């Protein structure tokens, strides 16, 4: 889907609370992500509690000064 994960981590005092910052290429992709039943089931099996998830859209302009995300192993 072209989604970039910029950050994912759990709270220090509550490892069951995951926070993720994801960049979607468009609102259409965000909507497709949320509507994809197969992906939702995979996330649910991975431990995501879909019903309590909260999405907070932020301005794309916020990320313009940062390079593309990378993965460090």
Whether this model's pTM surpasses 0.75: no
Report pLDDT digits (tens) over 27-68. 899 999 989 999 999 999 998 888 888 888 877 666 555 566
Domain-located, residue 58 = yes
Residue 19 lies in a domain: yes
What does the alpha-carbon distance between residue 27 and residue 22 come to, in Å, rounded to a whole number? 12
In a domain, 70, yes or no: no
Query: What per-residue confidence (pLDDT) applies to 5?
Result: 85
Residue 50: give the domain boundaries: 4-63
Q: What is the pLDDT of residue 36?
A: 94
Instruction: Note the pLDDT of residue 27.
Output: 87
| Residue 21 near residue 7, CB atoms below 8 Å | yes
Question: So what's the pLDDT on residue 35?
Answer: 93
Which residues, other chains included, contact 29 with Cβ-Cβ below 8 Å and sequence gap of 6+? 1, 2, 3
Number of domains the chain contains: 1
72 in a domain, yes or no?
no
């Amino acid at each position: 889907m072209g989604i970039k994960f910029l950050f994912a981590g759990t709270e220090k005092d509550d490892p069951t609370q995951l926070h993720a910052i994801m960049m979607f290429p468009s609102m259409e992709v965000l909507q497709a992500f949320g509507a994809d039943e197969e992906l939702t089931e995979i996330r649910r099996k991975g431990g995501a509690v879909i019903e309590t998830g909260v999405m907070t859209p932020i301005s794309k302009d916020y990320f313009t000064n940062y390079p593309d995300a990378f993965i460090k192993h």
